[in-house]
Amino acid sequence: MSYQTPRGTYDILPDESGKWQELEQIIRDQCRLYRYKEIRTPYFEDTSVFARKNDSSDMVNKEMYTFTMGTDSYTLRPEGTAGVIRAFDQHKLYGSMEMPARFYYMGAMFRHERPQKGRQRQFTQFGVENIGVKSPEIDAETIALGIDIVKAMGISSIKVSINTLGDDESRQAYRDALKAYFEPHIDTLCADCRRRIVQNPLRILDCKVDHDNPVVKDAPRLSDYLNEESKAYFERVLAALDAMGIAYEVDDRLVRGLDYYTHTVFEVISTHPESGSQATIFGGGRYDHLVDYFGGPQMSGIGFAIGMERLLILAGAEGHRAPEDDGTDVYVIGLGDVSAEVLKTAEEIRHAGFTAEANLMQRSLKSQFKSADRSRASYIVIMGEDEIRNGTVNVKNTKTKSQETIARNQLIDKLKEWNI
Ligand code: HAM
């Protein structure tokens, strides 16, 4: 039998890890500029952290990896926001941190979805949460951070879609209107949407099955149910984006797939021809009720999460290349039974801060030189029994092809002098 990764998961092989490390570094650099600090929460939480009362999202109802241990039910995190807010409340960070509190996280998330390009069952998100201050300008600043990261990865074909779900009053008025509108058409809707009419009719607008159903297309628009306060808030978000020169499209059908959003919601979508069906690079929005849900005070927050696999696929499609491995500084070769000395020399080189590979296979000189070539060594140190006896080493500069014999105890100083 041959063993394989489970469906919807994948290995990142050494050839590919460079691009991940580059992305992680870009994320860390950008978060530092915006003064976000990293938070790391567990990969599984009590199921109740994600399955909150009467949640209507597909993520919670269909896609969670839930398991029981004894009488406890746990779930592999399908997203990062809930865990961050749980931690914010558990550690009473609302009392000790300067507001707004700014967090970022990176790591694996798990959703039992149908795998395809850009959609896995284990995937990696980078996300941020900005908690404690409700301000339209913060909404715009949060979007700007996400866009800066996408651009830093060389992705320029993007579209920012934005909408508002309004405050509680506006959303309730809209839900009532949708319910009244859809009820007479219930027979034309899919089985899930029939449940959604009762639980959360907003979800119908996001249904993949009923996407082209004319009944759904003609449904009342949320913008007609916004109260003045919600409209004014949204206008300020748009004005702040204008002030930063960030182009956007208002899409009043954008409701997002998760239940906790209030006011601003947004998605950044790739418009590159290769982006395929999974074109949403990141999505997020404001939430007014999560902090108090987990036992903290009434505080609003906003955040987004980027699918890092999608970002890397799109960066590649737009021609971005990760820096390649630049080879080893030094490759140490031994002639004869001198492996212990080769090893010791390589250790000294590493302790001086240079990268070094030691050939410990006692092969022919020719084959060791070939290996040094494949490792793209800048210098090759050659040690035979004679050299060891005389306290010398031969050093070859692979660029100039010149070779010289130097005292072994001078090797580190020489490497420093050559400035590799
Ligand atoms: P989300 O829209 O569910 O939001 O996911 C955010 C991003 O994660 C998506 O736009 C996509 O790039 C990526 N993603 C989601 N599912 C998959 C998958 N199965 N395979 C690959 N990539 C995927 C959230 O998760 C919210 N927590 C965002 C947020 C933070 N809202 C407020 N704060």
Q: Identify the residue whose C-alpha is closest to ligand 1 atom 32.
A: 303
Is residue 139 in contact with ligand 1, taking CB distance under 6 Å? no
Work out which ligand 1 atom sits closest to the CA atom of 256: 2
Among 61, 258, 313, which is best to mutate for testing ligand 1, by the most ligand atoms less than 8 A from CB?
Answer: 258
Residues 287-308 have pLDDT tens digits of 999 999 999 999 999 999 999 9
Predicted local distance difference test score (pLDDT) of residue 210: 83
Residues 326-354 have pLDDT tens digits of 899 999 999 999 999 999 999 999 999 99
Q: Which regions of the chain carry the CATH code 3.30.930.10?
A: 14-167+227-317
Predicted local distance difference test score (pLDDT) of residue 31: 98
Residues 52-75 have pLDDT tens digits of 988 989 999 999 999 999 999 999
- The mean per-residue pLDDT over the stretch 199-213 comes to 89
Q: What are the phi and psi torsion angles at 122 (to 5°)?
A: -110, 120
- The mean per-residue pLDDT over the stretch 84-113 comes to 98
Q: Distance between the two ends of the chain, CA-based, in angstroms?
A: 47
**CA dist., res. 146 & res. 233, Å (int):** 21
Predicted local distance difference test score (pLDDT) of residue 209: 87
Predicted local distance difference test score (pLDDT) of residue 401: 95
Predicted local distance difference test score (pLDDT) of residue 325: 87
**C-alpha dihedral sign at 219, 221, 227, 229:** positive
pLDDT confidence band for 357 (50 / 70 / 90): very high
- The mean per-residue pLDDT over the stretch 162-178 comes to 96
User: What pTM was estimated for this model as a whole?
Assistant: 0.94
Q: Identify the residue whose C-alpha is closest to ligand 1 atom 29.
A: 304
Q: Identify the residue whose C-alpha is closest to ligand 1 atom 33.
A: 303
Query: What are the b/e assignments for 117-151, b being 16+ CB within 10 Å?
Result: ebbbbbbbbbbbbbbbebbbebbbbbbbbbbbbbe
Predicted local distance difference test score (pLDDT) of residue 1: 79
Is residue 120 in contact with ligand 1, taking CB distance under 6 Å? yes
Q: Is the pLDDT of residue 420 over 90?
A: no
Predicted local distance difference test score (pLDDT) of residue 53: 86
Q: Is the pLDDT of residue 278 over 90?
A: no
Is residue 125 in contact with ligand 1, taking CB distance under 6 Å? yes
- Domain at 14-167+227-317, CATH class: alpha beta
Q: How far is the CA of 264 from the centre of ligand 1 (A)?
A: 16
- Percentage of residues in the chain with pLDDT exceeding 70? 100
Q: Which regions of the chain carry the CATH code 3.40.50.800?
A: 330-417
Among 123, 256, 269, which is best to mutate for testing ligand 1, by the most ligand atoms less than 8 A from CB?
Answer: 123
Residues 217-243 have pLDDT tens digits of 999 999 999 999 999 999 999 999 999
Which residues, at least 6 apart from 31, have a Cβ–Cβ distance to it below 8 Å?
Answer: 37, 38, 104, 128, 145
pLDDT confidence band for 414 (50 / 70 / 90): very high
Q: How far is the CA of 258 from the centre of ligand 1 (A)?
A: 10
Q: How far is the CA of 190 from the centre of ligand 1 (A)?
A: 24
**CA dist., res. 69 & res. 165, Å (int):** 38
Q: Identify the residue whose C-alpha is closest to ligand 1 atom 20.
A: 119
Contact 265, 285 (CB under 8 A): yes
Among 27, 125, 130, 131, which is best to mutate for testing ligand 1, by the most ligand atoms less than 8 A from CB?
Answer: 125
Q: Identify the residue whose C-alpha is closest to ligand 1 atom 10.
A: 282
Predicted local distance difference test score (pLDDT) of residue 382: 97
CATH superfamily entry for domain 330-417: Anticodon-binding domain (3.40.50.800)
**CA dist., res. 403 & res. 1, Å (int):** 51
Q: How far is the CA of 37 from the centre of ligand 1 (A)?
A: 20
Q: Identify the residue whose C-alpha is closest to ligand 1 atom 11.
A: 307
